[in-house]
Chains A and B, each alone.
Chain A
Amino acid sequence: MWNNKILLALALCFLACCTSRQPVTHYVEIKQMQFVPAILEVAQGDSVIWTNKDIVEHNVVNESKPGWESKSLKMGEMYALKIEGKDIDYLCTLHPVMKGRIVISQNK
């Protein structure tokens, strides 16, 4: 009887381990005046790191208010964010024609 309970507990642990997903870090490069990729699919709890590869400074700003925003990033500087909530439209306010989007996927 005890053996059965232990086996059941082990099986549940195994199942939980197999189905729970570890958060993933995604990378967006800011290069040639674009966010690459411009549309990024992530899961709740994942992180995104933006890295500026351009000569000129950029920032990353959530278009929704109240939102978040990075400081101005010089070449080589990064900004990291843990993704929680809903889809995010963002832009570089220094060059407002530069836009990006983070899509929260249930399938990730």
Chain B
Amino acid sequence: MKHLNKICIALFALLFASTSQMVYAQSAPSFNDAEIASIAVTANDIDIKYGELALTKTKNKEITNFAKTMINDHKAVIQQAVDLVTKLKVTPQDNALSKQLNADAETTRKMLSSKKGAAFNKAYIDNEVAYHEAVIGAVKDVLIPQSQNAELKALLEAVLPALETHLEHAKMVQKNIGG
């Protein structure tokens, strides 16, 4: 059990370290559906904000198109999540992980804001690759297995292919801009 806890802690540190600054050192992560809903909404909202920042900072067409897709897709996912929690009468519950995600995202936004031109494009798309890899791992290995409600689980499962496509798309842009 102790070993399992260590694996879980390590997993979360890896899964949610959006670039390199995060260390999530708590007891073994275990979430109820209200917390999972909050984590899902937070994770989507963070990527929307990265995309909105990118639109103010870049002139690169591929980065612009990618950022627009991230904004639209993650907004669509949030809408589905909001519709579901409304239907289920569940109020998303802030938790240590959603707070940590927001804190890390703030640090990343500051880092991105300090960059310009090609350096910004590279930092943005590198972060998108790392962020999607982390979120995919978390959804697949933690959030889906821990979801109790079948509709919440189904929503997370439905979102997974979109996240995987975003990751492939981000890697394609990364390669095209020479990242």
Contacts and interface: CB of A to CB of B under 8 A. Distances in A.
Q: Do A and B come from one complex?
A: yes
Nearest to B168: A97
Interface residues of A, number: 13
Interface of B: 65, 69, 72-73, 76-77, 80, 158-159, 161-162, 164-166, 168-169, 172
B76 A55 contact: yes
A32 interface: yes
Given A95-B69, A96-B169, A55 B164 contact: no
Interface of A: 32-34, 54-57, 93-98
A94 B76 contact: no
A56 B76 contact: yes
A70 to B, nearest CB: 16
Contacts of B69: 94-95
Nearest to A53: B158
Given A55-B158, A55-B159, A33 B164 contact: yes
A82 B131 CA distance: 41
A27 B80 CA distance: 26
A36 to B, nearest CB: 12
A98 B165 contact: yes
10 contacts: A32-B161, A55-B158, A55-B159, A56-B76, A93-B65, A94-B65, A95-B69, A96-B169, A97-B165, A97-B172
Given A55-B162, A57-B72, A57-B73, 11 more contacts: A32-B158, A33-B161, A33-B164, A56-B76, A56-B77, A57-B76, A93-B65, A94-B69, A95-B69, A96-B169, A97-B172
